[in-house]
């Protein structure tokens, strides 16, 4: 079974600085997709960024970028120029491109605190 591991329960960053959240996953498949979701105190789940496993290029969305290391099964999220509104719980998630029937497997989450 696929597993997703976030080894950092909590992280903190100063406003305007850069922070990296870690995620590793375990799979034997070659076709899969990875995601980072943000859950602020409002508890709404917001998609931050998406990566296709067969694409070498790391995904970027404005201040958010990933470092996708397929061989190492690592998928970290870098937040640049951190803002107070980035404070939230961040979840890494995995889905198989093949036979998962749309199942998303989530990591345990990382709480990000942003200090002014």
Stretch that binds other proteins, among 10-18, 67-75, 77-85, 105-113 (CB under 8 A): 105-113
Q: What angle do CA 21, 26, 31 make, to 5 degrees?
A: 100
Of residues 18, 14, 15, the one with CA closest to residue 76: 18
* 57 touching other proteins, by CB under 8 A: no
CB atoms within 10 A of CB 17: 13
Contact pick of 20, 22, 80, 108 for other proteins (by CB under 8 A): 108
Q: Minimum distance between the CB of residue 90 and other proteins, rounded to whole angstroms?
A: 11
Residue count (the chain): 116
Interface positions with other proteins (CB under 8 A): 33, 35, 37, 39, 42-45, 47, 50, 52, 89, 91, 93, 95, 97, 100-106, 108-109
């Amino acid at each position: 079974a696929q597993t997703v591991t976030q080894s950092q329960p909590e992280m903190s960053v100063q406003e305007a600085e850069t922070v990296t959240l870690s995620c590793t996953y375990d799979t034997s498949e070659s076709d899969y997709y990875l995601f980072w979701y943000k859950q602020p105190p409002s508890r709404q789940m917001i998609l931050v960024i998406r990566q296709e496993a067969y694409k070498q290029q790391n995904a970027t969305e404005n201040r958010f970028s990933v470092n996708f290391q397929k061989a190492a099964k690592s998928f970290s999220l870098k937040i640049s120029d951190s803002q107070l509104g980035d404070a939230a719980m961040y979840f890494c998630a995995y889905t198989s491109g093949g036979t998962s029937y749309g199942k998303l497997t989530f990591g345990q989450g990382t709480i990000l605190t942003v200090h002014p």
